[in-house]
Structure 1
Amino acid sequence: MISVIIRILLFLGFLFIIDLYSYQAIKTSFPNNIWAKLAFWLFSISVYVFIAYAFLTFNRGTSSSGFSTMASLLILSLVPKLIILLLLFGEDVIRFFRGLFTSATGTRNGDFLPDRRKFISQLALAVSAVPFVGILHGVLIGKYRYRVISHTLEFDDLPEEFDGFSITQISDIHSGSFDNKKKIEYGIDLINEQGSDVILFTGDLVNNTSKEMEPWIESFQKLEAPMGKYSILGNHDYGDYMSWPSPEAKVANMERLYEIQEELGFKLLRNENVQLQKANASIDLIGVENWGKGFVQHGDLEKAAENLSDNSFKILMSHDPSHFDEQVKSFSKFIHLTLSGHTHGMQFGIEIPGFLKWSPVSLRYPKWAGLYEEFGRYLHVNRGFGFLAFPGRVGIWPEITVLKLKKKVS
């Protein structure tokens, strides 16, 4: 407990140093406005208190709402201040060398460090307001701003009977983070409106425990697809990120999660495959348990694809996109399409179609969102239906993917 308190105090001290620097912009821009200064410190101190409370009371086995509120307040407070710090520090570097020069030459009577310019402080405040508004929008609106993204993929060896076959992919529901039933049901209705042949869910139904999904079972039971609904497990579904009172409790949690998948109408694929039939033709659907670089590796692609023909058309569901680069693209049996999620696009980034696509998560995952192709094998990484930790999305919106398969005309 003492070590936790020390870490909290060190972290709050770090935040206080950032606040002291950022406060210079307020003081310079509003030298005679006591209310502006008071509002700055009241907001900052409120964030300190809530962070300390959230850390001291945090328990992965309970609702994540307190931690999510702390995360949103921290990001809402810290990101704009870091931008202010960056701009003011840049000005300070210029002021230092200019002061050094003027002091040495005597052009300002030995005045070593010139006064901070009001314009720079006001500019810093104006620039920092942009991410502040963006983050606020992401918390209040962006996390439920569902969008449908469609792709059409052509294959030489797609069975003719499956020409026009459609898939709706959803991923990373993270039901433990939900806080608005009306918005969730809107998203579910939007999934059904796509009218796809199958719905494929690529993992992370919960944050930590199966009970997080209990209030949402009735809502997600409404998902419909004429050729079935299939799912796999993600890294969060195993309950590895919390302490359990006993090994038996963890096993019981997993058993209940399997039951919930069945109650939702999903066929859970655990290192196994099924055949999707149309007329006299079929395609193979493979589902592996989580396999991630740096995460749990319960997935067994060899086992999941055993007894499948080398020449059959194959779709793989694998939660973590790192699996594609590490194993799938060089797998002995040709897998035409892999569907993943996991990254959430870090719930933060910039996407301008055809021009710019960036998120900090790209530093960890080269394939982090959207469609990729290597050696004739496709990977699609879904940006996620839900959200985790930070209760918002900025620039990376929750995604419902529709993939249409077409027979390539020779």
Structure 2
Amino acid sequence: MRWIILISLYVIIEIYAYQAIKTITKNQIIQIGYLVLSLAIIGYVIFIFANYDRSVGPTKYTLRASGFLFATLVPKLILVLFMFGEDIVRVCVAGYNYLSNTFFQGKAPQYMPDRRTFVSQLALGVAAIPFAGLLHGIFWGKYNYKVITHVLDFDDLPDAFDGYRILQISDIHSGSFDEKGKIEYAIDLINQQEMDLLLFTGDIVNTVAEEMDDWIDVFKKIKTPKHGKFSVLGNHDYGEYVTWETQEAKDANFEAIKEVHQKIDFRLLLNESVFVEKDNERIAVIGVENWGHNFKKAGDLTKASEQVEKEDFKILLSHDPSHWEYEVKRHEDHYHLTLSGHTHGFQFGIEIPGFVKWSPVKYVYKQWAGMYTEMGRYLNVNRGFGFHAFPGRVGIWPEITVIELRKKNPTA
């Protein structure tokens, strides 16, 4: 029944889109070419997803099919809005014509007005904007890395850490990569930043540890700053989204994913903490396993903080920002800065600094991209290094975050 509903909706969308093409051109070659192309794309998408293997999980083929689907479906939805709106007007005019009987001139009356070429042309023009944006996102935007810098002031930051620089990356999703040169460029960009500490906040793969096999040497090139590289797990790192033949196979994959962190010189924090020391002062770096309001809750903040004193300055790594919203920000132990990822900013949205910041994901996550502060505590939601599900990014670019800690001057 679900497939019947989806296919029926697609047929309706396709009928409206074809009406727009048919209205602006009478050239049958163009009309037939449009139909053949549309049928080929939807046929390919149906074939790929009908043969989806849950024991394998997402592949480059499913990513490509998603790209084709989104790049063609979104513009057609724009066409439907225009064409359906015009149909409402046409029906109203037809009703008026029928009631007023104004078209009876000795021949059969035409109650329903013809479609207007102008409306179809306008609809196609508007639809071309998201179409171009999606193509740009697929072929260029997904590797359009941005370095975003934040400077945060704290009253209780240890003096020795004034000016301390932390670099954060998140959501690598190595199984989605298709251009080695672009990833190497991003690694070089990371290495160009001045940093004292590097932190990774989860989702190193889409599903299986083998996805990192071709990328180990690339990510090993990330330089190790003076105080090291630390990481945590994300929801995709548990192998929850595929069907395993045995529990033993799933457990083996999980162990292999944890080993990947070691292979690229990151220390994986599994509900535990470490102290970074400088000039006889320290800050705590606390890493929890994934804790999501709507996802796996393996994170144990109490266990992770066992060795941490209440007065310690705390940096928490927690993949899902909903953890901050539901458990961390009101915690009696003051967690000064939480670093998360997970949302990817939906890989689609509009961001003009100082003017607009919007993505559909804002209706799911209260904190979904960038820096947030409440109750004297900070949360940074990294927009992600990689991509997943849709093979592109539109308006929400892959992010490398640099955070500089400052000691607030109470007399300033």
Class of the TM-score when normalised by the shorter of the 2 chains: over 0.9
Please name the residue that 1:66 is paired with.
61
Report the Cα offset of residue 14 of structure 1: 2.7
Bigger drift between 21-30 and 254-263 goes to 254-263
Cα pair distance change 1:108/1:47, threshold 3 Å: same
Report the Cα offset of residue 62 of structure 1: 5.6
Please name the residue that 1:170 is paired with.
169
Give distance in 2, aligned partners of 1:235 and 1:393.
Answer: 21
Give distance in 2, aligned partners of 1:66 and 1:202.
Answer: 27
SS in structure 1 opposite 2:393?
coil
Give distance in 1, aligned partners of 2:53 and 2:138.
Answer: 22
Report the Cα offset of residue 49 of structure 1: 1.4
Contact 2:273 2:307 in 1 (8 A): no
Alignment of 1:237-276 (within 5 A): 237-276=237-276
Alignment of 1:209-248 (within 5 A): 209-224=208-223, 225-248=225-248
Matched, 1:188 2:187: yes
Give distance in 1, aligned partners of 2:103 and 2:274.
Answer: 81
Report the Cα offset of residue 255 of structure 1: 1.2
SS in structure 1 opposite 2:74?
helix
**Structure 1 length as normaliser, TM-score?**
0.96
Contact 1:12 1:48 in 2 (8 A): no
Matched, 1:365 2:360: no
**Structure 2 length as normaliser, TM-score?**
0.96
Please name the residue that 1:55 is paired with.
49
Q: Deviations over 1:175-208 (max 9, x none)?
A: 0101010000101110111121111000000000
Contact 1:103 1:111 in 2 (8 A): no
Give distance in 1, aligned partners of 2:60 and 2:3.
Answer: 19
Give distance in 2, aligned partners of 1:107 and 1:276.
Answer: 85
Bigger drift between 9-18 and 150-159 goes to 9-18
Cα pair distance change 1:380/1:129, threshold 3 Å: same
Contact 1:314 1:337 in 2 (8 A): yes
Please name the residue that 1:3 is paired with.
none
Letter in structure 2 aligned against 1:119: F
Please name the residue that 2:400 is paired with.
400
Please name the residue that 1:293 is paired with.
293
SS in structure 1 opposite 2:175?
helix
Give distance in 2, aligned partners of 1:74 and 1:298.
Answer: 34
Give distance in 1, aligned partners of 2:58 and 2:97.
Answer: 59
Q: Deviations over 1:254-292 (max 9, x none)?
A: 111121111111010111100011111100000000000
Matched, 1:38 2:32: yes
- Give aligned-pair identity as a percent: 52
Q: For structure 2, which runs of at least 5 residues remain unmatched after alignment?
A: none
SS in structure 2 opposite 1:330?
coil
Give distance in 2, aligned partners of 1:191 and 1:221.
Answer: 12
SS in structure 2 opposite 1:327?
helix
Report the Cα offset of residue 9 of structure 1: 5.6
Report the Cα offset of residue 106 of structure 1: 2.4
Letter in structure 2 aligned against 1:150: T
Report the Cα offset of residue 13 of structure 1: 3.6
Alignment of 1:380-391 (within 5 A): 380-391=380-391
Give distance in 1, aligned partners of 2:14 and 2:248.
Answer: 47
Q: For structure 1, which runs of at least 5 residues remain unmatched after alignment?
A: 1-5
Report the Cα offset of residue 7 of structure 1: 5.0
Alignment of 1:62-211 (within 5 A): 64-109=59-104, 110-211=109-210
Give distance in 1, aligned partners of 2:25 and 2:294.
Answer: 49
Letter in structure 2 aligned against 1:233: L
Bigger drift between 191-200 and 231-240 goes to 191-200
Give distance in 1, aligned partners of 2:350 and 2:99.
Answer: 46
Please name the residue that 2:339 is paired with.
339
Give distance in 1, aligned partners of 2:57 and 2:20.
Answer: 40
Give distance in 2, aligned partners of 1:238 and 1:63.
Answer: 15
Give distance in 1, aligned partners of 2:375 and 2:152.
Answer: 15
Give distance in 2, aligned partners of 1:319 and 1:230.
Answer: 13
Report the Cα offset of residue 103 of structure 1: 2.1
Give distance in 2, aligned partners of 1:91 and 1:20.
Answer: 14
Q: Deviations over 1:8-39 (max 9, x none)?
A: 565334322211111110000002x1222122
Letter in structure 2 aligned against 1:160: D
Bigger drift between 140-149 and 37-46 goes to 37-46
Q: Deviations over 1:58-78 (max 9, x none)?
A: 224266111001100100110
Give distance in 1, aligned partners of 2:302 and 2:367.
Answer: 23
Any runs of at least 4 consecutive aligned residues in structure 1 with deviations exceeding 6 A, and if so which? none
SS in structure 1 opposite 2:122?
helix
Please name the residue that 2:12 is paired with.
17
Letter in structure 2 aligned against 1:260: V
Bigger drift between 166-175 and 45-54 goes to 45-54
Aligned residues: 404
Matched, 1:26 2:25: no
SS in structure 2 opposite 1:315?
strand
For the aligned residue pairs, the C-alpha RMSD in angstroms reads 1.2
Letter in structure 2 aligned against 1:145: N
Contact 1:29 1:122 in 2 (8 A): yes
Letter in structure 1 aligned against 2:53: N
